[in-house]
Amino acid sequence: MDYNVNEWNHVFKLDPNKHLSDSSLKKVCESGTDAVIIGGTDGITYENVVALLMRVQAYEIPCVLEVSAIHAISPEFDGYFIPMVFNSKEKRFMLDVQHEAVKQFGDFIDWSDMLVEGYCVMNEQAKVFQATNCTLPDQEDVIAYARMAEHMFHLPIFYIEYSGRYGDVNLVRETAEQLHDTMLFYGGGIRSAAEAKQMKEHADVIVVGDILYENIQAALETVQACKE
């Protein structure tokens, strides 16, 4: 692994199913963000994942795949994030899809390139909430999941995912207070430097996605806000 997640503050998440122009991609990759994560829920194919990876590889930035579909895994990434959806009603999104992937690819996996994310999806309207059949946790539930991520599973990352909607700052702060060894990632609805800065006060790493496709300038301004 040529990067250290513990040093990250900010990442952009690019959706292989959405189009970003060459000039915007260049700005993203040269923005000073710590990494590009490629990931999404809908329309993920091997072809669109690899096409986006190749475009990002023209730059120095680490490129990580957040694995959501076994058929779209390429061995060329700098790292792999494996979500385990804690608040899914179905065991398969916590354990079985990962089990199937390890059964198929276990002999080829470089385990040092892989980090597991304890995922908690907080936006009922988000595609990922529906796709993984989640139930909406309250603050006490989230804190318990965070404690499990750190003390029971010893996961490197706990990810509060509000995908598409700005989240509850108080919940993020209370969750952050429980985590010491496990890093807290926050993603969802960040559309300005001020919002990035507000969540960064509590989360270790801010993930910025959708706004890239709507207002590239606003997206780029979130980078500096997380470094100050």
The least distance separating ligand 1GP from the CB of residue 179, rounded to whole angstroms, comes to 17
189: left (phi over 0), alpha (psi -120 to 50) or beta: left
The least distance separating ligand 1GP from the CB of residue 66, rounded to whole angstroms, comes to 8
DSSP annotation of 211 reads G
Distances (CA, A) of 83 to 9, 89, 158, 169, 223: 19, 15, 9, 22, 24
**Distance, CA of 66 to chain centre:** 7
Nearer to ligand 1GP, 109 or 131 (CB): 131
Nearer to ligand 1GP, 58 or 136 (CB): 136
Residue nearest to ligand 1GP (CB): 187
164 is in an annotated binding site: yes
Nearer to ligand 1GP, 104 or 125 (CB): 125
Return residues touching ligand 1GP (CB under 6 A): 13, 161, 163-164, 187-190, 207-211
190 is in an annotated binding site: no
Distances (CA, A) of 129 to 4, 44, 86, 192, 217: 29, 16, 11, 24, 28
CA atoms within 13 A on the CB side of 110: 10
15 is in an annotated binding site: yes
Assign 3-state DSSP to the chain and report helix, strand, coil percentages, each to 5. Answer: 40, 20, 40
Nearer to ligand 1GP, 21 or 112 (CB): 21
188 is in an annotated binding site: no
Binding residues: 13, 15, 41, 159-164, 189, 209-210
Binding residues for Mg(2+): 15, 41
Binding residues for sn-glycerol 1-phosphate: 13, 159-164, 189, 209-210
